[in-house]
Structure formats: C-alpha cells, structure tokens
Amino acid sequence: EVQLVESGGGLVKPGGSLRLSCAASGFTFSSYSMSWVRQAPGKGLEWVSSISSSVNYIYDADSVKGRFTISRDNAKNSLYLQMNSLRAEDTAVYYCARDRGHYDSSGYFSGRYFFEYWGQGTLVTVSS
Amino acid sequence: DIQMTQSPSSLSASVGDRVTITCRASQSISNFLTWYQQKPGKAPKLLIYSASSLQSGVPSRFSGSGSGTDFTLTISSLQPEDYATYYCQQSYRTPRTFGQGTKLEIK
C-alpha cells in the first residue's frame, strides 16, 4: 500500500524558515517523480514544486521560486521542501504527492504527470 | 499559465441524481486533464486521469469525457459518499493548474 506521511509543519513568523518532510513507503520511491501541492485555508489547490526521480528536473511555481527548494533522498525514501522567507500567504496545508505519467493511446509517455497518491498533509501557519 | 474554470462552483443534488460538472481550459490541453475528489479535512483523491480513464478502485458511476478545452465529470447516480468538492487539473503545461473547485452538496 502506498503511504505518504508529511511532517514538519507548524507556526512560524514571517521571514522565517521551515523544512517539510515526506516519508514514502509501499513503492519504489526512486522510480517516481514527486511533488508538493498546497491548499490555503478554505481555498483551492495550488501546485508548488516537482522533482524528477533522479533529480534531473526540478520545477517550481513562480509564487515560491527563489524561496522554496524541493529535494529528495532516494536512499531514505524521503521528499523534502525547504521553505525560506515565509510570508503570510504561504499559510496552507502542504501535501506531498506521487506523480504518475500520462501515456498516449499508443503507449508512449507524454512527459506530463498528474498526482496519483497524496499524503494527509501538514499545516504551515505563517503569523506574527 | 493555463486557466482552468469549473462550473458550477457549487451544486445541490439528491441521492440518485445524475450530476455533471464542467471544466474549461483557457487553451487546448489535449486530454491531459485529471479529476480529483476532496472531502472536508482529507487529502484529494484521484478519480479520473487522461480525461476519461477511471482510476483503479473508483466506482464506475464516475466517468469523464472531453478533449481540447472542454471537459466533463459525470456521476451517473449520486451516492451519499459522493458529497465532496471536485477539482479538475491540467498537466499540458507547467505550472500544473487546478480549477477553483465544485462543491457538491446534499439537496
């Protein structure tokens, strides 16, 4: 059974830092691209960052570029999100998600991904 | 960025009803469209990927259709456990973007 368990959330002051972790189990972690998605209280979903299986590719949303850094340790089956220079608008539940690739009708990988499995989320609150 | 617009934003329906939710992309996204279900206090759950492929374990009353810019999620006969918020999401271009959500409530 695929399990994703986030940790590291909490209350932090504006300008502060926090590091989120996601412990993965039930699948071969090193074979999958992974992502972070967040949801502000009472709001919709927002993709934050993605990292390829071998760390060849990293993509960040413009809203976090230069402040957040996604990383992974395949030996520890873990995904991380280092969040610096936090702002009030970063307050959200942060979900770790396992990516799955879109394949076309001929079975060719498209290079695009969707979120197949999600963790339960960890709440980050940025407030003075 | 590709904008995803869902309609309606909220919907009231009764058990047994047929329900349709629409998602429109601001440009063509081929079939790179995914639907998720989210219940209060829970993580989103994958329902439909590649516009019309049903995720394993998801009841067959859920179906998806569409290509290009216009997509629909249909629940053929609403069950009590289907009351939730539904999101569409495109993967055609980075950033992957979501619709604003459709909240399905009990009538």
Task: Give the residue from chain B lying closest to A44, CA to CA.
Answer: B100
Indicate whether A105 pLDDT > 80.
Answer: no
Work out the average pLDDT over B11-30.
97
Question: Rounded to an integer, what distance in angstroms lies between the CA atom of residue B77 and that of residue B3?
Answer: 30
Indicate whether A106 pLDDT > 90.
Answer: no
Question: Mean pLDDT score of chain B, rounded to an integer?
Answer: 97
Question: Rounded to an integer, what distance in angstroms lies between the CA atom of residue A118 and that of residue A6?
Answer: 10
Cβ-in-10-Å burial (0-12, 13-18, 19+) of A75 comes to exposed
The Cα angle at residue A118 between residues B27 and B31, in degrees rounded to 5:
25
pLDDT tens digits for range A21-40: 999 999 999 999 999 999 99
pLDDT tens digits for range A74-97: 999 999 999 999 999 999 999 999
Asked if the Cβ–Cβ distance from A102 to B49 is below 8 Å, we say yes
Alpha-carbon dihedral angle through residues B27, B33, B35, B41, given to the nearest 10 degrees: -70
pLDDT tens digits for range B24-44: 999 999 999 999 999 999 999
Q: Taking Cα atoms as reference points, which of A40, A55, A26 lies closest to residue A116?
A: A26
Work out the average pLDDT over B6-28.
97
Integer Rg of chain A from CA: 15
Q: Residue A107 has what pLDDT?
A: 83
Q: Residue B13 has what pLDDT?
A: 97
In A76-95, the residues whose Cβ lies within 8 Å of chain B are 95
A78 half-sphere exposure, CB direction, 13 A CA radius: 13
Work out the average pLDDT over A11-22.
98
Number of other residues whose CB lies within 10 A of the CB of residue A60: 20
Q: Residue A104 has what pLDDT?
A: 79
Residue of B44, B91, B100 with shortest CB distance to A113 = B91
Instruction: Provide the CA A95 distance to its chain's centre, in angstroms.
Output: 6
Nearest CA distance, A94 vs chain B (angstrom): 10
Q: Are B102 and B85 in contact (CB under 8 A)?
A: yes
The residue among B71, B93, B94 with the most chain A CBs within 10 A of its CB, best to mutate, is B94
Q: Taking Cα atoms as reference points, which of A45, A50, A49 lies closest to residue A32?
A: A50
SS3 A76: coil
Residues of A in Cβ contact (< 8 Å) with B43: 95, 118-121
Instruction: Provide the CA A103 distance to its chain's centre, in angstroms.
Output: 22
The residue among B49, B91, B100 with the most chain A CBs within 10 A of its CB, best to mutate, is B91
Q: Could you tell me what percent of chain B has a pLDDT over 90?
A: 98
Q: Taking Cα atoms as reference points, which of B90, B70, B63 lies closest to residue B23?
A: B70
pLDDT tens digits for range A41-80: 999 999 999 999 998 899 999 999 999 999 999 999 999 9
Question: Rounded to an integer, what distance in angstroms lies between the CA atom of residue A69 and that of residue A65?
Answer: 8
SS3 A30: helix
Residues of A in Cβ contact (< 8 Å) with B50: 102-103
Instruction: Provide the CA B103 distance to its chain's centre, in angstroms.
Output: 10
Nearest CA distance, B81 vs chain A (angstrom): 19
Identify the residue whose tokens are 């003075």: A128
Q: Are B26 and B33 in contact (CB under 8 A)?
A: no
